[in-house]
């Protein structure tokens, strides 16, 4: 078993270790998105037509529908990092900075759909090497009280990214 783990450690990249690969489960889990305000959410059915590339007109009889949620319909999503290494945290932090500044999600992005940004980012954690945090985790009945607030997410992840980059030679792995 140890031999297999050593092989995985040596032969898989940091992205595979964080997001998972055919040989190892992901350290990152992502919850379903839950609506912040379900009463205000609306699904809209739009229609589209197939275009004839030669005549530049709609093809007769070929119509399809697609469903969208309206802009501004906020979702709450939780990412869970299990036993993250400094590289995992730096990698995830880099992705978080990218998503916070705006990215795109889902299909039909060339037709004006899918842009989003992240807001209201909170990071909480537990380090089981720390006795106080370990006791807190084991003795609190509510999930939100088990983990400690790690403060401002930008400072937290900036520090992690800088630490990892300082240990890696320029252009290195």
Partner 1 sequence: MLRKWLCQADITVQLQPIDPILIKSGYATHRGPDVVAAPVTLLEGREF
Residues lying near partner 1 in the complex (CB under 8 A): 1, 33, 36, 43-45, 47-50, 59, 61-84, 89, 92, 96, 99, 102, 105-108, 112-129, 147, 150, 153
CB of 93 to partner 1, least distance (A): 9
CB-wise, 110 or 173, nearer to partner 1? 110
CB of 171 to partner 1, least distance (A): 29
Report d(CA 95, CA 91) in Å as an integer: 6
Query: Half-sphere exposure (CA, 13 Å, Cβ side) for 44?
Result: 10
CB of 127 to partner 1, least distance (A): 5
Rounded (5°) CA angle 108-113-115:
120
The alpha carbon of 43 is separated from its chain's Cα centroid by a whole number of angstroms, namely 23
| Residues belonging to the chain | 173
CB of 28 to partner 1, least distance (A): 9
H/E element holding 44?
strand 43-52
CB-wise, 143 or 170, nearer to partner 1? 143
Report d(CA 102, CA 79) in Å as an integer: 18
Report d(CA 146, CA 7) in Å as an integer: 35
CB-wise, 120 or 132, nearer to partner 1? 120
CB of 172 to partner 1, least distance (A): 26
CB-wise, 61 or 172, nearer to partner 1? 61
CB-wise, 16 or 118, nearer to partner 1? 118
């Amino acid at each position: 078993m140890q031999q297999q783990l050593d092989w995985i450690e040596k032969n898989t990249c940091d992205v595979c270790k964080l997001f998972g690969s055919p040989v190892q489960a992901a350290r990152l889990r992502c919850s379903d998105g839950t609506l912040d305000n379900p009463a205000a959410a609306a699904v809209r059915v739009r229609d589209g037509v197939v275009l004839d590339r030669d005549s530049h007109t709609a093809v007769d009889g070929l119509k399809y529908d697609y469903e969208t949620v309206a802009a501004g319909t906020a979702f709450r999503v939780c990412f869970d990092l299990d036993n993250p290494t400094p590289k995992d945290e730096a990698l995830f932090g880099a992705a978080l900075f990218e998503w916070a500044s705006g990215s795109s999600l889902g299909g039909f992005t060339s037709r004006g759909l899918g842009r989003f940004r992240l807001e209201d980012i909170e990071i909480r954690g537990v380090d089981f090497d720390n006795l106080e945090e370990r006791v807190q985790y084991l003795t609190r009945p509510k999930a939100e009280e088990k983990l400690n607030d790690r403060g401002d997410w930008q400072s937290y992840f900036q520090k992690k990214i800088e630490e990892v980059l300082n240990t890696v030679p320029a252009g290195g792995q």
